[in-house]
Amino acid sequence: MKLLHTADWHLGKTLKGAPLIDDQKFILDQIFDIIDREKIDALLIAGDVYDRAVPPIDAVDLLNDTLNRLAEKNLPTLIIAGNHDSATRLNFGSKLFESRNIHIAAKSDEPAHIVLRDAFGEIYFTLLPFAEPDALAATIEQLNIPRGRNVAVAHAFLTGGIESESERKFVGGSANVDAKIFSDFDYVALGHLHRPQKISAENIRYAGSPLKYSFDEANHQKSVTIVELDAQGFVDAKKIPLTPRRDVRIVTGTFAELLRQSRTESYVQIILTDDAYIYDTELLRDAFPNFLEVKRKNHLQSYDDEPAQSFRREDGISEQFAKFFESVTNEPLTDEERTTFENFLRELERAEREA
């Protein structure tokens, strides 16, 4: 059986305020081309289908169109919810889609079990929607995994994974899952981390996001993962590169140097090396019509965010709140206050996913 593993579509996402819905339509068309060219037998989508729990209308329309295209192909499609998805919204219409060979598992306490067949017999798929690390480990421990070939689809942060800026940070820093809990599976199709990568073994993999969703992903080669199973189980996994409608790039130079650059349609972060402050950065749009951010190398701050401050997205919400609290009160958060905030945030995120 030949599987296409993808994840982290984040439909409805923006990059520095720029809507990416047309880029997402473009890349999904490529994925359909790969499905046809590679003669894929089943599609695995490992969570974060939407970018947020209440997605914009154009994102809902795009997913609806995509699922209808898959239904017309009668391609077995297995989808789980990620930490960005609302279980209720993603699960809407799942019974109807099930009759068209599209299986959606959205509730964290309800793993789904799907059986597909190839020339060698049955393959058992376990769909594991996003859950807190302890809950995920407990769920897997309680599974009655049948003898034969088994595939897991999960959305989690496995120990040893390489993060990107655009991923939503888990609360409290204890969100890692040990890859050993998946030892009984022939292949583990993971979502959450946006860089395609394997974790501890060839058969435990993140497909990564299909598009670059932050400037620290500028050097990523985005792809989908093609997995082959034979009578014994996992055979091979290979990455098929994806080509975006517009690339995401970082360009560095003096203001005068960049004015002479050839025009590019890429989404660009500009880092100016000039010592003097540049006031009319809009002049750069002749060469970079889609530039989204301008920073100074010596300060590494946005021209929109003067003066520089210490709040960084990669810190996560908990650390950002701690810095904000200290900047307002001139006192650091106590351990008790931090724990209270993190518990509150966990409950808020859980309520959002279940909304």
Q: Residue 61 sits in a domain of what CATH number? A: 3.60.21.10
Residue-wise pLDDT for 294-316, tens only, equals 998 866 555 554 444 444 555 67
Report which residue type is found at 33.
Answer: D
Q: Mean pLDDT throughout 162-174? A: 65
* Residue 104 three-state SS: strand
Residue 282 has pLDDT above 80, yes or no: yes
Instruction: Evaluate whether 175 touches 133 at the Cβ level (below 8 Å).
Output: yes
The most distant pair of C-alpha atoms in the chain lies apart, rounded to whole Å, by 69
- If asked whether residues 346 and 262 sit together in one domain, one would say no
Reference 170, options 108, 84, 240; nearest CA is 84
- If asked whether residues 269 and 327 sit together in one domain, one would say no
- If asked whether residues 6 and 28 sit together in one domain, one would say yes
Q: Mean pLDDT throughout 218-226? A: 97
Residue-wise pLDDT for 116-126, tens only, equals 999 999 999 99
Q: Mean pLDDT throughout 208-235? A: 97
Residues 6+ apart with CB under 8 A from 334: none
- If asked whether residues 9 and 71 sit together in one domain, one would say yes
Residue-wise pLDDT for 42-100, tens only, equals 999 999 999 999 999 999 999 999 999 999 999 999 999 999 999 999 998 888 999 99
- If asked whether residues 291 and 321 sit together in one domain, one would say no
pLDDT at position 308 is 40
- If asked whether residues 71 and 217 sit together in one domain, one would say yes
DSSP per position, 182-242: GTT-SEEEEES-SS-EE-SSTTEEE---SS--SGGGTT---EEEEEEEETTEEEEEEEEE-
Average pLDDT, the chain: 90
pLDDT at position 317 is 77
Who has greater pLDDT, 352 or 27?
27
- If asked whether residues 300 and 194 sit together in one domain, one would say no
Of 74-78, 99-103, 258-262, 279-283, minimum mean pLDDT range: 279-283
Number of domains in the chain: 3
Residues 231, 253: Cα–Cα separation, whole Å:
55
- If asked whether residues 133 and 258 sit together in one domain, one would say no
Domain boundary among 218, 241, 264: 241
- If asked whether residues 333 and 258 sit together in one domain, one would say no
Identify the domain containing residue 266 by its residue range. Answer: 248-305
Q: Which residue, chain included where needed, has tokens 């520089």? A: 308
* Residue 138 three-state SS: helix
- If asked whether residues 42 and 186 sit together in one domain, one would say yes
Domain boundary among 200, 219, 241: 241
pLDDT at position 306 is 43
Residue 236 has pLDDT above 60, yes or no: yes
DSSP per position, 278-299: PS-GGGGGGT-TTEEEEEETTT
Prediction pTM value: 0.85
pLDDT at position 9 is 99
Residue 176 has pLDDT above 90, yes or no: no
- If asked whether residues 192 and 213 sit together in one domain, one would say yes
- If asked whether residues 16 and 153 sit together in one domain, one would say yes
Residue-wise pLDDT for 16-35, tens only, equals 999 999 999 999 999 999 99
Cis amide bond preceding 307, omega within 30: yes
Percent of the chain with pLDDT over 70: 89
pLDDT at position 64 is 96
